[in-house]
Amino acid sequence: CQISRILYAKGGTKYARTEYEVVTVTGDCRGGGTDANVFVTLYGKKGTTARLPLKNRNKSKTFERGRSDIFIIKAKNVGPLQKVRIQHDNTGTAPGWFLDRVVVTDIKNPACKYYFPCAQWLAKDEGDGLIARDLLGSKDPTAVRRMSKYKISTYTGNKRGAGTDANVYITLFGEAGDSGERRLDNSKNNFEQG
């Protein structure tokens, strides 16, 4: 009598691996390219990949102004894509980056092609100062970035020591995912007692 058993990863789910083609399109604006190390995380209906580096195997310059770069990454299949997080580590002599869009295709299933419009800076010294963006996907190649504005009101208690000088962040969660971490800041002296 022979006994056999199939063992799955912790959590009881077996994930198939696949290859994704990730295309980044750098905007054609002055200083739009980056020397920083760039990373992507894919979010799908079946899960999330690890943070994956986007590196060019043939050592040519990547993320240059007005250029597209193509990367092949191997990762677990996360199912239909919902969003990507694209970020860099702010290193190099010119780390700021103007990202026009990202296109991701599951190579084993080319009908699964998603477009992630950005048209924003990932730079500490440009735009809103963020170096990471969460981009919502669309199957429409002409999609534009959907922006929503929210008014966030905070109330600090009137007890001694209730205020803070620390940086305060918020993440909004909704049906299409989350906003990513956003710093709460304006021209006022925020988060003071009372």
pLDDT per position as a tens digit, 24-52: 999 999 999 999 999 999 999 999 999 99
Task: Scan for tokens 């058993």, then name that residue.
Answer: 5
Please tell me the pTM assigned to this model: 0.72
According to DSSP, the residues that pair with 25 across neighbouring strands are 68, 101
| Joined tokens for residue 128 | 């809103």
Helix (H) or strand (E) run with residue 117 in it: strand 109-122
pLDDT per position as a tens digit, 115-149: 999 999 999 999 888 999 999 888 877 776 666 67
Instruction: Give the Cβ contact number of residue 89 at 10 Å.
Output: 12
> Which of 53-67, 107-121, 134-148 is modeled with the greatest confidence?
107-121
